[in-house]
Amino acid sequence: MKISDYDCPSCGASYLVAESTSAPAGPSHADCAICGERLASWEEPKLRVYRLEMSAEFKYPRIQPPPSPQ
């Protein structure tokens, strides 16, 4: 089993993705639980599960680092 992180390209919600190569499955897709946009679609016979970890509204905002002192 392969586990990885994935962010929704539309709303920024964070997902944990579990991919099994031993469990049989067919082509499928996954949609974002927050905004409804398509996260991924696949044709391979792999079982994939997307688990919402954190919606974008609860994430820390990205800030630019301060300039380095000279």
Tell the burial category of 41 from Cβ atoms under 10 Å away from its Cβ (0-12, 13-18, 19+).
exposed
69 within domain boundaries? no
pLDDT tens readout for residues 23-63: 888 889 999 998 999 999 988 888 899 999 877 666 667 77
In the chain, the number of structural domains is: 1
Mean of the pLDDT values across residues 4-16? 91
- Tokens 């579990």 belong to which residue? 18
CA distances from 45 to 6, 11, 28, 48 (A): 20, 28, 9, 10
pLDDT of residue 23: 82
- Give me the mean pLDDT over the 12-22 stretch: 89
Confidence grade of residue 8 (pLDDT, cut at 50, 70, 90)? very high
In a domain, 42, yes or no: yes
Range of the domain at 26: 2-56
Pairwise CA distance, residues 13 & 54, whole Å: 6
**7 within some domain:** yes
- Element holding 19 (H helix, E strand): strand 14-20
Evaluate whether residue 68 is within a structural domain: no
8 assigned to some structural domain: yes
